[in-house]
């Protein structure tokens, strides 16, 4: 049991490193890591300031930061599956003794950690371009909320990544989903302006709760950040369970249809 666990940890570490090495050679990715967060921050904070809502600056920076995290982490997860399929390695990964979701954990975690860079760029842009005062009310809760957000988004990436094995257009789906996710998760506008019927959908998305947890620990909203953190943990566990069940079915379907190598 312990040996098996060690082996799986090695797979996660191996996938983490491998993803980091591949990413480092991708100039487009490096560009998006630094440039996109600046654009998101300028757009987001600028919109609030222009609208005369100067006190929303920190809210906008956190939202923009989360957009960067989403972009680096989950959007890239879609591209990972598509890239593996195009490169002919998807069938090799799925036919290896390691369950595919474990491989995805390593790759997604690697992207999650890279996304911290985009968060730092976002905060730096807020500080430098808008001279915002980024006072965090509860720094400890903020850091823990940030880590839990990254973990939760990674687990959400596993659900999406498992489902993406079924399609040859994973990257396109993620691209199309970008702005709907930003809006549904309250990253661009406050959740309160969403119609009621959309709120259940918002409540199952990791970025929604990550954004709320960060907002609460920064003192922007009155909620208790620790309670939201607990919700993030529960959501992560639910994602893991769904990914496990989903991938079994997905593996059966791709082996039945012979679609692993079609691109």
Partner 1 sequence: MTAIKIVNLGRNFTTTTGTIRRTRKDITALEDVNLDIEPGELFGLLGPNGAGKTTLTRILSTVLLPSSGRAEVLGMDVVKHTKQLRPRIGMVFGGERGLYWRLSGRDNIQYFADLYLVPPEVSRKRIPELLELVGLTDRADERVEGYSRGMKQKLHIARGLINDPDVLFLDEPTIGLDPIAARELRTVILEMHKRGKTIFLTSHYMYEVDELCQRVAVVNKGKIALIDTPSAFKKMVANLEVVEIECREAHPEALSRLRAHPRVESVTMENREGAQALQIQAPGGVESIPEFLRILEGSQVQKVITRQPTLEDAYVKLLGKEALNS
Binding residues for partner 1, rule: CB under 8 A, are 7, 10-11, 13-15, 18, 21-22, 25-26, 87-89, 91-98, 103, 252, 255-258, 260-261
The number of beta carbons lying within 10 Å of the beta carbon of residue 196 is 6
The minimum distance between CB 109 and partner 1, in angstroms, equals 15
The minimum distance between CB 174 and partner 1, in angstroms, equals 21
Q: Which residue has the tokens 């993620």?
A: 174
Residue 93 or 124: the one with the smaller Cβ distance to partner 1 is: 93
Residue 22 or 173: the one with the smaller Cβ distance to partner 1 is: 22
The minimum distance between CB 260 and partner 1, in angstroms, equals 6
Residue 107 or 152: the one with the smaller Cβ distance to partner 1 is: 107
The minimum distance between CB 3 and partner 1, in angstroms, equals 9
Residue 80 or 132: the one with the smaller Cβ distance to partner 1 is: 80
How far does CA 89 lie from the centroid of its chain? Answer: 23
Token readout for 14 is: 């191996």
Residue 8 or 39: the one with the smaller Cβ distance to partner 1 is: 8
Alpha-carbon distance 141 to 261, whole Å? Answer: 45
The minimum distance between CB 261 and partner 1, in angstroms, equals 8
Q: Which residues contact 14 (CB under 8 A, 6 or more apart)?
A: 106
Q: Are 81 and 161 in contact (CB under 8 A)?
A: yes
The minimum distance between CB 68 and partner 1, in angstroms, equals 24
Alpha-carbon distance 134 to 131, whole Å? Answer: 9
Residue 10 or 53: the one with the smaller Cβ distance to partner 1 is: 10
Give phi and psi for 172, each to the nearest 5.
-65, -40
Q: Are 216 and 137 in contact (CB under 8 A)?
A: no
Q: Are 12 and 105 in contact (CB under 8 A)?
A: yes
């Amino acid at each position: 049991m312990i040996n098996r666990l060690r082996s799986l940890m090695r797979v996660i570490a191996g996938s983490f490193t491998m993803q980091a090495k591949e990413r480092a050679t991708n100039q487009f990715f490096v560009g998006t890591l630094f440039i996109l967060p600046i654009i998101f921050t300028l757009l987001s904070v600028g919109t609030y300031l222009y609208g005369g809502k100067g006190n929303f600056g920190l809210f906008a920076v956190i939202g923009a930061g989360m957009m960067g995290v989403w972009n680096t982490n989950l959007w890239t997860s879609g591209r990972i599956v598509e890239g593996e399929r195009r490169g002919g390695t998807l069938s090799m990964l799925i036919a290896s003794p390691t369950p595919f979701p474990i491989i995805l954990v390593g790759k997604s975690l690697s992207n999650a950690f890279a996304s911290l860079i985009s968060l730092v760029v976002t905060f730096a842009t807020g500080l430098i371009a808008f001279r915002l005062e980024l006072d965090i009310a509860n720094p400890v809760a903020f850091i823990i909320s940030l880590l839990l957000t990254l973990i939760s988004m990674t687990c959400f990436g596993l659900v999406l990544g498992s489902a993406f094995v079924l399609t040859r257009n994973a990257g396109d789906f993620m691209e199309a989903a970008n702005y709907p996710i930003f809006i549904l998760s309250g990253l661009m506008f406050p959740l309160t302006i969403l119609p009621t019927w959309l709120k259940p959908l918002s409540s199952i998305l990791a970025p929604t709760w990550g954004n709320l947890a960060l907002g609460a620990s920064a003192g922007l909203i009155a909620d208790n950040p620790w309670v939201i953190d607990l919700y993030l943990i529960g959501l992560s566990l639910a994602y893991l369970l769904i990914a496990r069940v989903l991938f079994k079915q997905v593996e059966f379907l791709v082996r039945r249809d012979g679609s692993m190598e079609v691109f």
